Structure 1
């Protein structure tokens, strides 16, 4: 707990505006503005709003500046917004995945929004889906004293990130939606020697565009055309820029039930002091969604490359598939790590999910990037 606001008088806002399934609250009155004191630490914050009768909602926000640090953590706010179904009312609410028909039935991707707005709260209790993945990493990394700066994916898109200020960029959570400027900046970071750490799966799957709000504020509308009508496809791999060319692996599919992660190349420094041996199984570490190496897809340029896990699992059709965890060194010297699973960040600090071997392996990686003894 950092601070408490004065008691605020509530006001009734007008209904959200909707046009072609794009829901926006850009016309709402400003209720209160928080001035961030200069002594606040950089980081990911949550405003907790509680009414007199006990109803509670939340607003996540990021406090950031441009000072250099060892690591820059990128919060995936673009992906968060893609999943946001606000107002989740059986009528207006729409995301890039769902919308409602006139009978209040939830529709799928073919009938979902093409464009969603950042000018609206997050649905439900006001926290984005998968936000916990980022907080799992943050709690662990701050506890162990890593020098971390913070930014949002939209900062990356807008060109506000100078990768030369950091030894590594960390993507701690599900980060599925990327714009062309985001990818360009991250590729330039790697070429400059800035390491990249991707702690989830299904990263950089959809290509998106950001546009201004109706009032002209930049980057307030998120568009992903998916399969709606003519035009070029929206998957990175279908525009001949597969994500494996950056990550070293890429998305293969969902994992219906958690499976063990099977350690591979246990002699590599990544697994030092973890107690993990070749073929050991880390329970539940393949979960949610998974990535693997695609042999027919080009790899990024590299001086060294290693697959650190090779884990069989059954998909929803009971077909045997496998997950892989990747690490390579780019010609610039940058390390690029991709966990290939949703379960990596929770294993760092989420009660009931912590795995000391994952904690140690992650520390081995970050210590090498940060050049810590």
Structure 2
């Protein structure tokens, strides 16, 4: 029995989601009643993770840690319960240079990761403990990844750089805020820190389960749920774990899921090295490898805790028709993301369309019953990839029209090309691929830019099975 199968045979929890969540204000993103963050994006068994929590007003609270997975359709398993703790209000940091908001809160507790905690994405649910049953309780999450060094069939990279890029905590402090103009204005010269809570996700839809959990439950969890349901040998890592390629060399397939927009350029070179070493790369994602976002140390010297948006990758940069790019003139452009993924990013973006088969004879479509022109409705969105790259052996396996802003026609392509060692690189060209795999507890379906995926689809599941069968040899 595989480690994943054995783990998911254990009883799941019937109570792991947020039941009572309250924002500070209408249309806000912060819940100061109870909120927190972790000292690292990812941690190994045996290592220590610090957790920082603030409560306003000061109140007692508990911490329950859950591993997300399949667990007989329940979606998570309780791994440990900690506390009660005496909470206190912690200081919202002043605005630093480059609009940086970096918390330096007092540590609430530390967890040494037990040896039997399998790699995965872990949610720590924070719950206030009222003095009287007549008083309400409030909840939010903290999120972290348990990683490992073992050989595995599949390495699933979480898109946590992008979670943080769009995190506005405490109010307007994402990479898209300048403090002057409302909405998402994409200013240059902004830094953001992982040393702060995740506010409620606010980019394209409202999801109260996102408070403290980044975008994991929004766009990526359905993929992990499906992989673990089927017993695939999968392990997990953060974007920051890919600044060197060594972790990926121990796996047969690597997956980028959801919205994987922000990459340190070292991640790009790691993925290229993995491809050249024979690892198959699956970009089951959209808008990926779009912005060069270098890591730097926190103010206390912790590596990979601050990111910025330095420049576009080359496929985006050469489309000199988008005013946003002019803000970054003079910065070094990144390498061509198309030469990695098989297709470049497209601008302007934000739309949706149907995922249309163009090469039904390809092994990718075996067992799907799809014919040329058959479509998976609404599967493309809300951002996607455009022109295919000039790579020997590259094939466009799906493509068609996406409707940018719901009305403007725009072309997208899904591609596949061979690697040097009987491996391959596949680009699904949509953020919503995981929505076609499963609909787990805690996940809210999305609707954006006048388009939506329809949920689990047997064709998406079979295409993914075909990809993994070819990649891992099972």
TM-score clears 0.5: yes
Structure 2 residue 364 is matched with structure 1 residue 270: yes
* Contact preservation (8 Å) 1:176, 1:203: yes
SS of the aligned residue for 1:13 comes to: coil
1:222 equivalent in structure 2: 307
Equivalent position of 2:116 in the other structure: 39
Q: Hey, what's the Cα distance between the residues in 2 that align with 1:94 and 1:123?
A: 10
Deviation at 1:161, TM superposition (A): 3.5
Counting only pairs closer than 5 Å after superposition, residues 123-162 of structure 1 correspond to structure 2 as 123-124=199-200, 125-129=211-215, 131-157=217-243, 159=244, 161-162=246-247
The match for 1:77 among 139, 151, 160 is 160
Q: How far apart, in 2, do the equivalents of 1:36 and 1:189 lie?
A: 28
Q: 1:281 aligns to what? A: 375
Counterpart of 2:125 (choices 48, 54, 59) is 48
Instruction: Give 1:319's match in structure 2, choosing from 401, 404, 408.
Output: 408
Q: Check 1:160–1:118 CA distance in 2 against 1; reply closer, same or farther (3 A cut).
A: farther
- Residue 337 of structure 1, CA deviation: 0.6
Residue 390 of structure 2: which of 299, 306, 309 is its match? 299
Cα offset, 1:334, TM superposition: 1.9
- In 2, are the aligned partners of 1:166 and 1:194 still within 8 Å (CA)? yes
CA contact (8 A) 1:137 1:349 kept: yes
- Segment of structure 1 superposing worse, 223-232 or 130-139: 223-232
RMSD of aligned residue pairs (Cα, Å): 2.1
**Aligned counterpart for 2:468 among listed residues 366, 369, 373:** 366
Deviation at 1:6, TM superposition (A): 2.6
Which consecutive residues of structure 1, in runs of 5 or more, have no partner in the other structure? Answer: none
Partner of 2:3: none
Output the CA distance in 2 between the equivalents of 1:217 and 1:256.
Answer: 35
- Label 1:110 to 1:137 Cα distance change in 2 as closer, same or farther (>3 A): closer
SS in 2 for 1:364: helix
Task: From the superposition, tell whether residues 129 and 98 of structure 1 become closer, same or farther in structure 2 (CA, over 3 Å).
Answer: farther
Q: Deviations over 1:293-318 (max 9, x none)?
A: 24xxx534x4x322111122322383
- Matched residue, 1:330: 419
User: Which 5+ residue runs of structure 2 have no aligned equivalent?
Assistant: 1-76, 130-135, 201-210, 312-325, 441-453
The separation in 2 between residues aligned to 1:180 and 1:259, in whole angstroms, is 30
Q: Residues 261 and 18 (structure 1 numbering): CA distance in 2 closer, same or farther, change over 3 Å?
A: same
Distance apart, 1:130 and its partner CA: 6.0
Number of aligned positions between the proteins: 353
| Distance change in 2, residues 1:253/1:341 (3 Å) | farther
Contact 1:22–1:113, Cα closer than 8 Å, also in 2: no
Change (3 A) 1:160 1:63: farther
- Please give the alpha-carbon distance, in whole angstroms, between the structure 1 residues aligned to 2:461 and 2:355: 14
Q: Give 1:112 shift.
A: 6.5
> Aligned partners of 2:394, 2:247: CA distance in 1, in Å?
26
Q: What is the CA distance between 1:177 and its match in structure 2? A: 1.0
Greater displacement, 220-229 / 72-81: 220-229
Alpha-carbon contact 1:327-1:337 (below 8 Å) kept: yes
Instruction: Check the 8 A contact 1:254/1:288 in 2, yes or no.
Output: no
SS at match of 2:152: coil
Pairwise mapping of residues 83-94 of structure 1 onto structure 2 (< 5 A)?
83-88=166-171, 93-94=172-173
Equivalent-residue separation in structure 2 for 1:212 and 1:122 (angstroms): 19
Question: Are the counterparts in 2 of residues 329 and 336 from structure 1 also a CA contact under 8 Å?
Answer: yes
Q: CA deviation at 1:146?
A: 0.7
Q: Output one character per residue of 1:211-256: Cα deviation in whole Å (capped at 9) or x when no partner.
A: 111111111111213555763255x3xxxx2211111112224665
Q: Secondary structure at the match of 1:191?
A: helix
Q: Distance in 1 between matches of 2:348 and 2:437?
A: 21
Change (3 A) 1:37 1:160: farther
Q: Could you tell me how far 1:340 is from its partner in structure 2?
A: 0.4
Write the deviation string for residues 306-337 of structure 1: whole angstroms up to 9, x where unpaired.
21111223223833222211111122322101
**CA–CA distance in 2 between the matches of 1:110 and 1:353?**
31
Partners of 2:248 and 2:92 in 1: CA distance: 41
